[in-house]
Amino acid sequence: MTKKRKTEEELAEELVCSECGETNIQVKVWVNANNHKEPKGATEGDIADNWCEDCQEHTEHVTRKEYEELQTTNDYEPNISDG
């Protein structure tokens, strides 16, 4: 079975680390302990819940398109907070 290649649009919307631009990122997700389902209205975006395996730190997650735009403007400073 061959793996379907992502379109340019799909790649542009793929989430990456705001620091290094890599996709090796994780996000903490709360699930119901009894049914293993994610509760409705679960929040996303708290930097303390994001992790980049390559940077080994909490980072913001942005789309690849946003990352590339940030690299060209060169004035981006992520809001990193561990608490």
Nearest in space to 19 (alpha carbons), one of 49, 45, 58, 65? 58
Answer yes or no: pTM beyond 0.75: no
Residue ranges of the domains in the chain? 14-73
pLDDT reading at 24 higher than 90: yes
Tens digit of each residue's pLDDT (9 = 90 or more) over 25-47: 998 888 889 998 887 755 566 88
In terms of C-beta density within 10 A (0-12 exposed, 13-18 middle, 19 or more buried), how is residue 18 classed?
Answer: buried
